[in-house]
């Protein structure tokens, strides 16, 4: 059963999916309609799941499930993955591309290839104070508090020039 994202409890399980490109407003509307329909029908072992989603910055889909009533099972999680793969094919977007890291620069999301990060930090294009996204958050509370993080406090700090880290 679909519920509004802001009505999900802090302990709701979340999955943060970064799209490989920004989706347009019409594409966001298509994605929102498809995700609302999915959440309405999402079940685990026949029991409806209280589920929601949020589309953020045109680059991220945050899927949430309140497991206080019914837990998402392996099969139900596989179902969400299958739906996202199908939607991705229809929309020409990849929800599972891990070859890019996104940064928030001047209010816009800018993805860069992981393979280019060392050089981009080295030449100053990217820096320690930029905001990046921790797509490994596990609950809505973590998402709200720790999804957006400064590079200096993330796994990306290893790419910073040594003089920046010291």
Strand partners, 64: 14, 52
Which residues, at least 6 apart from 124, have a Cβ–Cβ distance to it below 8 Å?
A: none
Q: What predicted TM-score, i.e. pTM, was given to this entire model?
A: 0.93
Spatial separation of the C-alpha atoms in residues 79 and 75, rounded to whole Å: 6
Spatial separation of the C-alpha atoms in residues 20 and 72, rounded to whole Å: 26
Q: Which string of DSSP letters, residue by residue, matches 87-111?
A: HHHHHT--S---SEEEEEETTEEEE
Task: Break the chain into its structural domains and give their ranges.
Answer: 5-91, 100-165
Q: Write out the chain's pLDDT in tens, 166 residues.
A: 999 999 999 999 999 999 999 999 999 999 999 999 999 999 988 889 999 999 999 999 999 999 997 888 888 889 899 999 999 999 999 999 999 999 999 999 999 999 999 999 999 999 999 999 999 999 999 999 999 999 999 999 999 998 654 4
């Amino acid at each position: 059963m679909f519920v509004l994202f802001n009505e999900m409890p802090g302990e709701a399980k979340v999955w943060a999916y970064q799209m490989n490109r920004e989706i347009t407003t019409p594409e966001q509307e298509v994605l929102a309609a498809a995700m609302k329909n999915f959440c309405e029908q999402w079940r685990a072992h026949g029991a409806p799941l209280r589920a929601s989603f949020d589309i953020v910055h045109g680059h991220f889909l945050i899927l949430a499930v309140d497991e206080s009533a019914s837990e998402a099972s392996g099969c139900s999680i596989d179902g969400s993955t299958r739906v996202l793969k199908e939607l991705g094919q229809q929309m020409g977007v990849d929800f599972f591309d891990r070859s890019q890291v996104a940064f928030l620069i001047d209010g816009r999301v800018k993805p860069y290839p992981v393979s280019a990060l060392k050089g981009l930090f080295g030449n100053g294009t990217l820096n320690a104070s930029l905001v990046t996204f921790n797509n490994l958050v596990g609950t809505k509370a973590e998402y709200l508090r720790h999804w957006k993080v400064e590079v200096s406090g993330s796994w990306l700090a290893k790419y910073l020039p040594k003089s920046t880290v010291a």
